[in-house]
Chain A
């Protein structure tokens, strides 16, 4: 076990840092937001190999490790990327662990080249983070399947080329058995998408599927047996979110510390007041707890025991949620009025962390999962 970056990891981090410095400006991001996200930036991600990173090298990927993904998400975080990296890079790679050779050959090269984006269409109205709670239906028709149901709040769902959609081929709403995973063409007949904007600046779509035909070749894994894969996908997403959260919390702490050193009140910098010093110390403690758990997440993704792995990733999401809430709220508090303005970046980092809390299960959900 060695926590120091090796040369390849250092190079990866450097290339992401350069990209952020060149193209990741806060004002540039504001411009991209009008269009949803930036195709130019997306091409840069492809260019430096981020999109190919976690995919198998047998099909044009780079065989990146969980630590590589962690470095990318942690480093990119402070630029608040609007692009569909999580679904296309992390969730896609986790889902395609069970893809056929033919599917890998069809999908990985365009993903790596930046020509195919994905969205994760799993949660449903009332499912409240329970991964086995799926009502959307898939019935056999000829050589394929026909999908019916609602998938609300699919992040990046309005722009994605393909939707990773779960649907029930058998059983009742909360059965663990009977769920299938489809790589649905987002422009297929019967897919209705209504776009919404999120508080963190990203876009999502409420999606309605009505008699949507999916060829058998677009089913991932064995139909009806997809729940373990879906659980694994959620775990990979949590690990990436944890890394992103650490990057955001570091940015929040750095900016707050700068502010404490420079903001003058009562004839000197406000950082000389012990009440504020101790708050900053608490923020660092919360950050390092979160950082440790993000590393733990990267390690535990490879844990072969399903229950152990699930429990570990729940613990990670709990710690991230607790640290993020504390650091985000305190960063704004210590900045005073400027912290609540739209023009200042701190509030935007806070909003991203706030949205993240409800992605892939909130703190309470994972605390309950952990103590089961």
Chain B
């Protein structure tokens, strides 16, 4: 165990900062620091800027366009981007479907989709949850019936984040109803503009549109768009969810929220209040522990040490609950001004603090609710 810091990492951080000073348009940063959902235009423009530098997918394998950075450097990079107010790239594309394609996809599928994602040309949406398949995902009912060289898809998906931006959807569909629920599921890539697809907005409690429901009515999907074998969808999904959880500690976002909390507390004259200061300190300590947990998980990922503790679920629980705690304190710091409903179309001074707090009630629900995560952690301890 060697915990020493490498001075080259500090130089790397400076390099990233210099890049961000040069490349991140100030108006884009300002929009993203307010706390509202990022726009597609900003996400796409920023992805293209990153791609021009070769940095749009640092966590991908080098052969697919990754940077080959150490886990620590990937973490530093993400932290600096977040702190500067850079919009995210499309999570569903870069962090969810791409690793699945790299692991389970054919060379043709990889060639068709990965470069387009890398350039920011295609956006993706996730079609997993259904109205009656949330935590119990394996009970999903969207059907895909084989018809020659196509599947015909009928059903409904929901909670599709940024589905209204999506060019492509990746979906779990039922291809066999005669076997155990998990074994009858396949993983399909579906062109979001296929005839028979209807995407409708779901307005969340922040009053904004980031979620969608997606209806499939006789949608024809070429068989070549299936990832992995028929019936292997659950394996792909478990792989994807474990990846998703590994990112869900959201240390960079938590750091940005804490920085905002400190700035707001100072501006509101709360910095000298020992009770409020103590509550900020509690969050900061928890964040330090979370950062080290994340670095441990990242450095163990893919090594012999991986699997010794249920890193994904643990990070998901801690990272999501910390966002909610910090968000609640941010709203409290706003005081009576916190009750005003602002949205992204309001003037620049209108901070999306309360809107973000409201939206972030979802973070302990998506990606497997925190109750499901605790079940998984307990299963790790106690066995099935």
A residues near B (Cβ < 8 Å) are 1-6, 9, 67, 253, 257, 260-261, 271, 274, 277-278, 280-282, 284-285, 288-290, 292-293, 295-296, 298-299, 302, 312, 315, 318-319, 367-368, 370-371
Contact = CB atoms under 8 A, between A and B. Distances in A.
A295 B305 CA distance: 16
B285 interface: yes
A368 B281 CA distance: 8
Interface of B: 1-6, 70, 72, 274, 277-278, 280-282, 284-286, 288-290, 292-293, 295-296, 299-300, 303-305, 309-310, 314, 317-318, 371, 373-375, 377-378, 380-383
A293 B281 contact: no
B296 A3 contact: yes
B284 A315 contact: yes
Contact of B277 (A9, A278, A371): A371
28 contacts: A1-B2, A1-B3, A1-B70, A1-B299, A3-B299, A4-B305, A5-B1, A253-B381, A261-B382, A261-B383, A274-B378, A277-B374, A277-B382, A278-B374, A278-B378, A280-B377, A284-B309, A285-B318, A289-B286, A295-B296, A296-B288, A299-B4, A315-B284, A318-B285, A368-B274, A368-B278, A371-B277, A371-B278
Contact of A257 (B4, B70, B382): B382
A257 B1 contact: no
A96 to B, nearest CB: 23
Given A4-B305, A277-B382, A289-B318, A67 B280 contact: no
Given A4-B305, A257-B382, A288 B314 contact: yes
Decide if the interface of chain A is mainly helix, strand, loop or mixed: helix
B77 to A, nearest CB: 15
A368 B282 CA distance: 10
A239 B97 CA distance: 42
Nearest to B281: A371
Given A67-B1, A288-B309, A1 B289 contact: no
B3 A67 contact: yes
Given A295-B3, A318-B285, 7 more contacts: A1-B5, A5-B1, A67-B1, A281-B377, A289-B318, A367-B281, A370-B285
Contacts of A284: 309-310, 314, 377, 380-381
A1 B305 contact: no
Given A2-B2, A319-B285, A285 B295 contact: no
What 10 pairs between A and B have smallest CB-CB spacing? A277-B378, A292-B292, A371-B281, A281-B377, A299-B3, A281-B374, A289-B289, A371-B277, A278-B374, A315-B285
Given A277-B378, A281-B374, A367-B281, A4 B303 contact: yes
Contacts of A370: 281, 284-285
A2 B382 contact: no
Q: Which of A3, A4, A278 has the most CB of B within 10 A?
A: A3
A370 B300 CA distance: 30
B5 A289 contact: no
Contact of B305 (A3, A9, A271, A285): A3
Nearest to B9: A1
Nearest to B321: A285
Given A281-B381, A296-B292, A319-B289, A367 B4 contact: no
A253 B317 CA distance: 19
B59 to A, nearest CB: 17
Contacts of B377: 280-281, 284-285
B286 A1 contact: no
Contacts of B281: 318, 367, 370-371
B241 to A, nearest CB: 17
Nearest to A302: B4
A260 B274 CA distance: 41
Contacts of A292: 289-290, 292-293, 296
Contacts of A367: 278, 281-282, 285
A2 B72 CA distance: 10
A295 B291 CA distance: 12
A251 B6 CA distance: 34
Contacts of A280: 377-378, 381-382
A299 B291 CA distance: 14
Contacts of B280: 371
